[in-house]
Structure 1
């Protein structure tokens, strides 16, 4: 994340640059590429646009020409009068650059007891849910001899021939998996979902 910042006094500018540098992270590099005192001018806008940088003003204004250039270049100028709000803005922007962590949440497992061939649908695995639950909106992994052989999405979940949203442990059900027909008796279907977790600096 690159930053261009102007403020009303040298002391404020130095304090802002120092605090921006204090929020450095191993995950995201934050760099002040230009800082100064006075109004934000056309060259500040040009530099921020060319560098895809944040353009920040603290207790100062923007020249008429710079406003026109910023509008033309679609360059946003953020104005602040409280330092910690400016620092928080930079930190939040940097956090938004981080890719979310992907977490897999185990939901349950079903053992295949029978395999049914259904016209126009394909194979349906007749199962008993041995642990946890099976959710129709979840992802599914087919295990054979404890080794994964296919990862996909549940396309059909039936209980007593009726579509069901969720089936819990100890209950028999029929499971269809999108783009997979090679079920065998003794396979297991492991059910899970994916959660994206926002990272912080």
Structure 2
């Protein structure tokens, strides 16, 4: 504690202007400054008040920041969201990070800042992140020692870095991995149903001739009737004569048992597809 001339002070009387260093963060103007008997007692009260403020903030903004987020996800399943809690050394660092995050593509994944504050990452931040499903982002700041075990216990993600571009890249990747993979189908074969055999223990077995490509047990199939798909599923059994086979090629007759479908009819077409999943980009 120093006076206006930079001299060290042990105490300050009422209305005395002083400069205080050593705080873990920058308090907002107008906050109350209270002297405590020990650092332990001060930290306990500080953490309690901060946790209470976070809970109050969550209560007031519940519909807007949490329930509202979930409602948007229900209304638009195509658009994902990523919740963030931002902690930094000073307010200008927070604003700089928010500005760069605002430039990230948001057509597929929307960023929601649940909370932002100056100072180290504290226990209350971890609990808020766990409650809101958020990731904690630390810019030019550290994690308070007593918050470390809670992070591990609650499995809350924390990304911290002193380089803003690295943080933005990390958040961009977190947005990308939230995107569902795109299903892609490649037609590999087709067979016409020329007979249907009933088996009491198995169901309806389609006697088929492969007319194009090949039919494989590992591929997905569609049943087409009058040019309309009536069923999509997988092959339970594929036989050539009495033998189980993995695949049958064009021009060969076979027996196909489709898992979960017993309404196959003569004249239906069974189409075989290879299904792959491709990762999306923002």
In the aligned structure 2, how far is the partner of 1:86 from the partner of 1:62? 16
Aligned equivalent of 2:240: 159
Structure 2: gaps (5+ residues): 1-81
Structure 1: gaps (5+ residues): none
| 1:200 and 2:281 are equivalent in the alignment | yes
**Greater percentage in helix:** 2
Deviations 1:138-158 (A, max 9, x none): 222222222333333211111
**Greater percentage in strand:** 1
**Cα deviation, residue 57, structure 1:** 1.5
Aligned equivalent of 2:181: 100
Deviations 1:143-195 (A, max 9, x none): 22223333332111112432111112222221111233333332211122433
| 1:39 and 2:120 are equivalent in the alignment | yes
The residue matched to 2:166 in structure 1 has which SS?
Answer: helix
In the aligned structure 1, how far is the partner of 2:261 from the partner of 2:179? 35
Aligned equivalent of 1:52: 133
**Cα deviation, residue 129, structure 1:** 0.9
Deviations 1:112-160 (A, max 9, x none): 2223334533332221111121110222222222233333321111124
Change (3 A) 1:192 1:65: same
Aligned equivalent of 1:3: 84
CA RMSD after TM alignment:
2.5
**Cα deviation, residue 56, structure 1:** 1.6
1:25-36 paired onto structure 2 within 5 Å:
25-36=106-117
In the aligned structure 2, how far is the partner of 1:158 from the partner of 1:140? 16
Deviations 1:20-79 (A, max 9, x none): 111141222112333344322344334333332111223321223433554554433322
Higher Rg of the two aligned structures: 2
In the aligned structure 2, how far is the partner of 1:149 from the partner of 1:84? 51
1:140-155 paired onto structure 2 within 5 Å:
140-155=221-236
1:113-192 paired onto structure 2 within 5 Å:
113-118=194-199, 120-192=201-273
1:21–1:31 contact (8 Å) kept in structure 2? no
1:24–1:30 contact (8 Å) kept in structure 2? no
TM-score for the superposition, normalised by structure 2: 0.62
In the aligned structure 2, how far is the partner of 1:198 from the partner of 1:118? 42
Change (3 A) 1:111 1:35: same
1:158–1:175 contact (8 Å) kept in structure 2? yes
In the aligned structure 2, how far is the partner of 1:86 from the partner of 1:145? 55
